[in-house]
Chain A
Amino acid sequence: MFGLANPERFMRFTGPLTPWLWGVAAVLLAAGTWLSFTAPGDYQQGDTVRIMFVHVPAASLGLVVYGALGVSSFFALVFRHPLADAAARAAALPGAAFTALALITGSLWGQPMWGTWWVWDARLTSVLVLFLFYLGYMALRSAIDDEQKAGRAAAVLGLVGLINLPIVKFSVDWWNTLHQPASLLRMGGSSLDPVFLWPLLTMMAAYAALFLAVWLTAIRTEITRRRVMTLRARAALEA
């Protein structure tokens, strides 16, 4: 595992893997979409239950990707490893996109079910804070010209944001919220009926595969970009 921390080995290993991930993501997305629109409507929520199949995967990925960003930030900060820094940087945009999708699709689900687009309850507010951490991370990186300093400052922010993850996850248990408690990952197993569980699990796998494809592609691009910058600097010195 740690052998992959070498950028050249990482490029060799992920080169053949990345196209497969794109393919798996495409197949799973197609299958998940089909299952989502062949499932019956819910007896209480009607067809709005189909929003769950895009909302829950986006919300889960928003959390998981921030976890990846935080762990990568830790390795970048403590071991000053350039690949960890590239991994953290590459995770920020997809993570922010998934979190934004969770907020938007949640709002579109909330209006017909709760009668409101937004409420300042613990779950919604903590997810908004998560989104702001992503934005802050990206803004901090782009605000500092020196890439190493920007990476270190952003890594500190990335680590601080990890505090918010358990708050998001357990907000529905710690406080009274309008948002429903966990129905997928909970003690005693999922409370979802299999007709909804399978489309949801397929969409979650699809989102995860798509994230891995985007992430690996972006890390590889970051390694290539740094190599280009080094070559440009060398050419400027020789000129």
Chain B
Amino acid sequence: MLDLDMSPYAAFVWPAWAISALVLGGLAVRAVAAARRWKAELKRLEPTPADDPA
């Protein structure tokens, strides 16, 4: 059964979970955002077949 009543330790349990969620979420968002940014930059710089004079 789901139990969300953490008393009398709510002031310790919820911050531990909240900080963990924040940090893990931050790691994921940062990794995906950086991947997208550099992928877009590579796409911009890499010569496309249309640029090839041959």
Binding site for B on A (CB under 8 A): 22, 29, 34, 37-38, 40-41, 46-48, 50-51, 54-55, 58, 93-94, 97, 100-101, 104-105, 108-109, 111-112, 207, 210, 213-214, 217-218, 220-221, 224-225, 227-228, 231-232, 235
- Given that A105-B19, A217-B35 are known contacts, is A231 also in contact with B13, CB under 8 Å in the complex? no
Binding site for A on B (CB under 8 A): 1-10, 12-13, 15-17, 19-20, 23-24, 26-28, 30-32, 34-35, 38-39, 41-42, 45-46
- Given that A210-B28, A221-B35, A228-B45 are known contacts, is A97 also in contact with B13, CB under 8 Å in the complex? no
Name the B residues within 8 Å of A231 (CB-CB).
42, 45-46
B27 and A38 form a contact (CB under 8 A)? no
25 pairs, CB–CB < 8 Å, chain A vs chain B: A37-B3, A38-B1, A38-B2, A46-B9, A47-B5, A47-B6, A51-B12, A51-B16, A93-B27, A93-B30, A97-B24, A104-B19, A105-B16, A109-B12, A111-B12, A112-B9, A210-B28, A213-B28, A218-B34, A218-B35, A221-B38, A221-B39, A228-B41, A231-B45, A235-B45
